[in-house]
Amino acid sequence: MTEEKELESIVITIAGRTFPVKLDNDEKDFVHDIEQDINAKIMDFQKTYPNRDKLDCVIMTLLTYTFDLKKQLPVNSQEEIDLKTEKIIQTLSELEID
């Protein structure tokens, strides 16, 4: 039987939008670093491509992280990454970010 970890709900902000996430104690240690890294990357894209809207910059950030992750993972993880990436892109395309 697997041990269930106790999860705590916190709110993170990405591209000016808030998202509730449930984390265990180990994840709480680095989630704010991830939040800052993502927002910094989005801001970099906004500075580099000032004519692009925020959603474009969020998607470019997603693509950058996905590309980097794919280079690091074994080939058999590719299908899972593709499915998750497609789901994230679909969700982002349904959002309206100012």
C-alpha to C-alpha distance for 78 and 68, rounded to whole angstroms: 12
Q: How far is the C-alpha of 81 from the C-alpha of 15, rounded, in Å? A: 23
**What is residue 75's predicted lDDT score, i.e. its pLDDT?**
63
Question: Are the C-beta atoms of 31 and 19 separated by less than 8 Å?
Answer: no
Of 94, 10, 97, 13, give the one whose Cα is nearest residue 58: 97
Q: What are the tens digits of pLDDT across the range 37-74?
A: 999 999 999 999 999 999 999 999 999 998 888 888 66
Among 40, 75, 86, 30, residue whose Cα is nearest residue 61: 40
Strand-pairing partners, residue 98, are none
* Number of neighbouring beta carbons within 10 Å of residue 63: 12
What pairs with residue 14 in β-bridges? Answer: 17
Assessment of whether the complete model's pTM goes beyond 0.85: no
Does residue 84 register a pLDDT over 60?
A: yes
Domain ranges of the chain: 8-94
Nearest Cα to 63, choosing from 79, 86, 43?
86
